Amino acid sequence: MSFSILFKGNWCEEYGILPITRPNIPAPSRDMELLKIPGKSGILVKDNKRYEPIEIPIEFNFFSKPDKWWEVFRNAKRWLSGGGELEFSDDPDYFYKAYCVEIVDSERGMKRIGKFKANFTCDPYTYLKAGKQEYDRTEVQYNPYSEAHPAYKINGEGVCYLTVNGKAMRANVGQNITIDTERMIAYRTDGAMQNTAVSGDYEDLYLLEGANQIVITSGFGLKVIPNWRDR
């Protein structure tokens, strides 16, 4: 199979375009501040404990009938608008979260042939597809990847405490509640917001690299969507 791009659930071939080459994927840069202190030699390094977004440039070309050239290009631009999940055919277990896409350097070399570059601005991490599945808490207590921001799906009735690595969040559960630490919101499966039903810090529920401990009040069911990710 030739190299291909999947974006927002659609392959580039569906729009009549193909990547010219495999893109170069940059390593994310750590967000560090170098501070100069008056009267002191050297600098003070402040680590903001996060990574900068990355930009993935991908060059595409396409071949069409002369009277269909603009139609193909417009459809491609429509597909490549906004954000979504970006995948590469030679890395099928991972995906990137693209914030936005910018189309640049478009050209029509001949009546039938077009070429353009799309710059994908992405989250600095690569995400595992397996990390979008639901697991029992015992299956995700060891994190072999980078710090993860999971979603916790709780079933039951009444007040419960979800404790991760000794830090607890209180939740008043009415049948079910999902605590999404990535988006920092809580909601029911029917979409109703439940932010006022929880108290505590979402950051306390992150899964750290290595061993973690996850505990929930007896009588409540718990599933975890770990959102595994790596740099």
Cα 45 from Cα 227, distance rounded (Å): 30
Cα 90 from Cα 86, distance rounded (Å): 12
Token readout for 110 is: 């001949």
More confident site: 61 or 207? 207
Cα 97 from Cα 173, distance rounded (Å): 31
Mean pLDDT of the chain: 90
Mean pLDDT of 139-148: 96
Distances, alpha carbon 187 to alpha carbons 16, 135, 225, in Å:
40, 19, 15
Q: Which of 30-39, 53-62, 118-127 has the lowest mean pLDDT?
A: 30-39
Alpha helix ranges (H) inside the chain: 69-79
Cα 129 from Cα 175, distance rounded (Å): 28
pTM across the whole model:
0.86
